Structure 1
Amino acid sequence: MPRNDQVTRQWHLLQRLGVARNGLTLAELVEAIPADLTRHPRTVRRDLAALEASHFPLLIERVDGEVRWRLLDGFKNIPALRLSPTELMALAFSRRLLSPLQGTLIQTSLNSALTKISAAIPAGATEYLQRLDQWFSVGLGPHKNYRHHRETIDILSQAIAHRHTVQMRYFSAGRNATTRREVDPYRLRYVDGGLYLIAYCHWRKDVRMFAVERIKALTPTDHPYQMPLHFDLEAYVEDALVVMRGERITVELKFDKGTAAWVKDRTWHPSQQVTPLKTGQLLMTLQVADTRELLGWILSFGSGVQVLKPERLQQAVKDEATKLLAQ
């Protein structure tokens, strides 16, 4: 049995228990499990025992001759946490950090939680909270807005949770065309200001990454799928500089003194290795996918960077610079 099945079942059990005032019988808990997962009462009993072993405060009661499970009220009323005034205000102030995730279930839940936190702040302290803007501000940088994609994100979230295939009409920017796809949604991934769907495409017969805002229409199905046991989601994206995948190459760059001063303090990719030179210059080595994304990133440093390896990347940078001059 895949471990994800157990986690998914327990998630659904906690969701139902969290809203059940009088607790639930074993039969009702079994019904809370999606039909594509194991729904045997013995399995659900093991899940309940595992949750209790993980310190979730489950209470077992006998009501009218029936055994019922429920969560202790103290666990539901978690806002009794002791937070200092500055901690409360810092959390309330962080609301704007969630702007790029607007339209997602995560943003909705976090925004709801922060609203409750804000309500706990005394009226007089809100003026101080507003003054925080005078010494601390948040620059989100370029990002996409998902306010108008809430339904798409909701459908994808449900399909991922239940592991059901979806049908979609998708606009491919590279080919400037809209096609119909049937995909098995594996995970939503937020990176560099954008939200992407990692899914197995039945048309391409391969795992692909789809930009959520380019999904023009989406229809859920009742067709279950199983993620291959050998598939590693983190390994799938590890070569991408941001989101584009391609052939992995070893890149060696040399930054001049002025550019090195601010390049060295950032992690541009997990594989990077940097070597400061006595001249103030900086050598950097990366293992990344050979894509237009990589080319654009190198060009963003202008004359402050030199490509040492590989030769084909050197030539690609020269060709692109020549085109820029021609324009």
Structure 2
Amino acid sequence: MANTATRLLNLIMLLQREPNTPASRLAEALDVSVRTVQRYITMLEEMGVPVYAERGSQGGYSLVRGYRMPPLVLSPEEAVAVSLGTSVISGLWGNLFRTTAQSAMSKIANVLPEEQLREVRWAQDSLLTRGLPRANPGVNEPSLEALYQASRRNQQLDIVYQGRGRAQAQTRRIDPYALIYSWGQQYCVAYCHLRGAMRSFRVDRILSLQLLESHFDKPADFDPSLYLSQDADDRPMTRVSLLFCAEYADLARDYACCWDTMETRDDGSLVVEYSTADLDMARCRVMSFAPKAQVLGPPELIEKIQQTAQAVLAQYPLPPEESADTSLTVNAAPPPTKVSRLNS
């Protein structure tokens, strides 16, 4: 809920953007009464902010021409948001933004009033973000910096890229449109001249790169978020069904955000379903739940899990007396894999 200080700041910005605004419209924008707006106007005048009123049916409140707020005026909530944002950014992008994020926060803290500083200190101690995948430490920082600069300047690159599952690296010329962070990995979304189409390149698989003198024009309507989300329509999806027995139903509910559907059976067990485009990734996630859930389908996923489980047992064989009466049971389930174009 906005406090008085926040509403006063918002009122000043409203008056800067829209001079001669009636009290009724200001009250609606601030979600307060007209009487409260009039009280705020009096408070601003007492603070030295030059507000005047135009009389008549077309009249309203305005700031004296030429008045501007100081270059940096943040509410306590805004200061907290900036502080938390710089902390997350420095963690996700490593050295690319760590120093600048810390520098920006130092500059902001240097001009913040004590009230905002108290809020920032409280937030840093009390509003923590954990569980985000750490940025891949294998990323070459100079390469990431070069990609960032090339994307900013619309500058073409020649890269030597080691694609997943390929025996040999390839040289490709790319137009770097955007950089993406996803689940601990940084990617470059670029137009690939070798393929004649958009591709995503994992930064840690770029073995070397060279900035070129040539430049490119990025389409004005290119939207990296839309490009990534459209992949769901381009790849075949497979429906995965998992059974959690009653003892582990709460585990399934803990991951409710991961399932498309959840059905509770009379015996307390839970059947969940979701769609995936990558059964290999689904296999990895499923194995993390073993043996607390059973894969009901599809058969191809069950077969992949059986093969993996047998390979694991081959590495860690049971003693003869235990293996004689032990059968391999595959019953595991993963959270669903979010479909993404970030697969290169």
TM-score (norm 2): 0.57
Task: Give distance in 2, aligned partners of 1:150 and 1:239.
Answer: 30
1:92 counterpart (66, 83, 86):
83
Task: Give the 3-state SS of the residue equivalent to 2:181 in structure 1.
Answer: strand
Give the AA of the match of 1:305. A
Preserved CA contact (<8 Å) 1:101 1:145 = no
Between the aligned partners of 1:313 and 1:160, the Cα distance in structure 2 is 39
After TM superposition, give the deviation of residue 233 of structure 1 in Å: 4.3
Deviation, structure 1 residue 274: 1.9
For 1:155, give the aligned amino acid. A
**Of 148, 151, 158, the match for 2:142:** 151
Cα 1:234/1:87, change in 2 over 3 Å: closer
For residue 316 of structure 1, report the CA deviation from its aligned partner.
1.1
Matched, 1:79 2:72: yes
Structure 2 partner of 1:325: 313
Secondary structure of the residue aligned to 2:302 is: helix
| Cross-structure match for 1:48 | none
- CA distances 1:87-146 after superposition (whole Å, capped 9, x unpaired): 6457536654331222335x55544332223333649x679938964x654434542256
Select which of 226, 247, 252 maps to 2:241.
252
Pair 1:89–1:275, CA change in 2 (3 A) = closer
Partner residue, 1:104? 96
Aligned to 1:277: 264
Q: Offset at 1:231?
A: 7.6
Task: Give 1:196 shift.
Answer: 0.9
For the 8 Å contact 2:139–2:203, the answer to whether it is kept is no
Deviation at 1:165, TM superposition (A): 2.7
Instruction: State whether residues 181 and 203 of structure 1, in contact with CA within 8 Å, keep that contact through their aligned partners in structure 2.
Output: yes
Tell me if the contact between 1:100 and 1:143 (Cα under 8 Å) persists in the aligned partners.
yes
The match for 1:289 is 277
The count of corresponding residues between Structure 1 and Structure 2 is: 246
Q: Is the counterpart of residue 302 in structure 1 residue 290 in structure 2?
A: yes
Higher strand share: 1
Cα distance, 1:190 vs structure 2? 0.9
149-158 or 315-324, larger mean C-alpha shift: 149-158
CA distance in 1, matches of 2:249, 2:205: 37
Identity among equivalent pairs (%): 25
Q: Which amino acid aligns with 1:310?
A: P
**Deviation (angstroms), 1:240:** 7.5
1:211 alignment partner in structure 2: 202
Amino acid at match of 1:325: L
Once residues 144 and 258 of structure 1 are traced to their aligned partners in structure 2, the CA distance between those partners, rounded to angstroms, is 36
RMSD (CA atoms) = 4.1
Aligned AA (1:79): L
Residue by residue, what CA displacement relative to the aligned partner does 1:52-73 show, whole Å, maximum 9, x if unpaired?
Answer: xxxxxxxxxxxxxxxxxxxx99
SS at match of 1:297: helix
In structure 2, the residue corresponding to 1:104 is in which secondary structure? helix
Check whether the contact 1:187–1:198 (CA below 8 A) recurs between aligned residues: yes
* Residue 299 to residue 257, structure 1, CA distance change in 2 (3 Å): same
Residue pairs, 1:67-216, within 5 angstroms: 74=68, 78-81=71-74, 83-84=75-76, 88=79, 91-92=82-83, 95-98=86-89, 99-105=91-97, 109-119=100-110, 120=112, 122=114, 129=121, 133=125, 137-145=128-136, 149-175=140-166, 177-216=168-207
Name the structure, 1 or 2, with higher relative contact order (CA <8 Å, separation 6+).
Answer: 2
Structure 2 residues not aligned, in runs of 5+ = 1-65, 316-344
Distance change in 2, residues 1:232/1:121 (3 Å): closer
Say which SS state the counterpart of residue 104 (structure 2) adopts: helix
Distance 1:127 1:238, change over 3 A: closer
Q: Does structure 1 retain, via aligned residues, the 8 Å contact 2:92–2:181?
A: no
- Deviation readout 1:289-314 (Å, 9 max, x if unpaired): 12422221111111122222322112
Amino acid at match of 2:253: K
Partner amino acid, structure 2, of 1:276: E
Code of the aligned partner of 2:73? A
Deviation per CA, 1:250-276, whole angstroms, max 9, x where unpaired?
A: 22223334544244344666xx41223
Cα displacement (A) at 1:198: 1.9
Aligned CA distance change for structure 1 residues 154 and 286 (closer, same or farther; 3 Å): same
Contact 2:96 2:145 in 1 (8 A): yes
- Alpha-carbon shift at residue 167 of structure 1 (Å): 0.6
**Aligned mates of 1:206, 1:304 — CA distance in 2:** 43
The gaps in structure 1 that reach 5 residues or longer are 1-71
Q: Quick check: which has more Rg, 1 or 2?
A: 2
Aligned partners of 1:189, 1:209: CA distance in 2, in Å? 9
Distance in 2, matches of 1:324 and 1:249, equals: 25
